[in-house]
């Protein structure tokens, strides 16, 4: 049985993050704050001996990966950036103001925004509500996102030997979906930029043993 430990890091703050816009497959550069967050996370991880590093194929994740690697005393083997680990796709809503988008999605149900929807309906239903409201019907559902996670775990398990320690740089809503699937209360609990979560994965199970550990930047 192959068991690996995965340190899952959310990328540093981007320009669109700073404008509070929906940033799924749309990409933008790290801000100065985002670069500092990535460097601080790298320093925090200096005592971990990583065997491999992987990221999503979006530039903000690759930028964060390289800044973290610049702080590590030993360079892990790089697994090619992988589309599987991209952020959730928000369809028609990509690039739009996030609070306004969620007010629009929530309007028909009488609630005020995303956190209210999650609190009352749960995250799977909330993601379905965005899909249903999307004029293009392209916003990813919860099940689609979890299918990508499961495929991603297969990719890492296939690339890494037993007892490997892996650094994975990915995205906020993507990480939040995994946390919800593990029974973590995600209401008002969104992964911070540069935050660390830890997953233990083997052939049979995936266990999120730490979620959204924030670093003093």
> Catalytic residues, which ones?
11, 87
Helix residue spans in 91-189 (DSSP H): 98-107, 114-121, 123-133, 142-159, 172-181
> Among positive and negative, which fits the CA dihedral 210, 7, 61, 58?
negative
Q: What is the DSSP string of 74-85?
A: SPPEEPPPBGGG
83 burial (CB, 10 Å; 0-12 / 13-18 / 19+) is: exposed
* 3-class DSSP assignment, residue 36: helix
Residues 214 and 4: their CA atoms lie apart, in Å, by 22
Dmax over CA atoms of the chain, in Å, equals 53
How large is the angle between the packed helices 123-133 and 114-121, nearest 10 degrees?
A: 130
- HSE at residue 200, side-chain half, CA atoms within 13 A, is 5
């Amino acid at each position: 049985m192959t068991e690996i430990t995965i340190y899952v890091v959310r990328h540093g703050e981007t320009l669109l993050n700073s404008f509070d816009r929906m940033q799924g497959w749309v990409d933008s550069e790290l801000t100065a704050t985002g670069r500092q967050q990535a460097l601080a996370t790298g320093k925090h991880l200096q005592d971990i001996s990583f065997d491999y590093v992987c990221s999503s194929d979006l530039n903000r994740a690759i930028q964060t990966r390289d800044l973290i690697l610049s702080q590590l005393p030993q360079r892990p083997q790089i697994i090619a950036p992988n589309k599987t680990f991209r952020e959730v796709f928000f369809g028609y809503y990509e690039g739009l103001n996030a609070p306004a988008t969620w007010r629009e999605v929530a309007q028909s149900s009488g609630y005020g925004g995303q956190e209210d929807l999650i609190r009352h309906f749960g995250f799977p239903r909330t993601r379905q509500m965005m899909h249903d409201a999307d004029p293009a019907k392209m916003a990813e559902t919860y099940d689609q996102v979890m299918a990508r996670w499961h495929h991603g775990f297969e990719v890492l398990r296939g690339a890494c030997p037993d007892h490997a320690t892996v650094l994975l740089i990915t995205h906020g809503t993507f990480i939040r979906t995994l946390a919800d699937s593990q029974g973590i209360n995600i209401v008002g609990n969104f992964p911070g930029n540069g935050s660390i979560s830890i997953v233990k994965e083997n052939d049979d199970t995936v266990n999120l043993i730490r979620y959204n550990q924030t670093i003093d930047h």
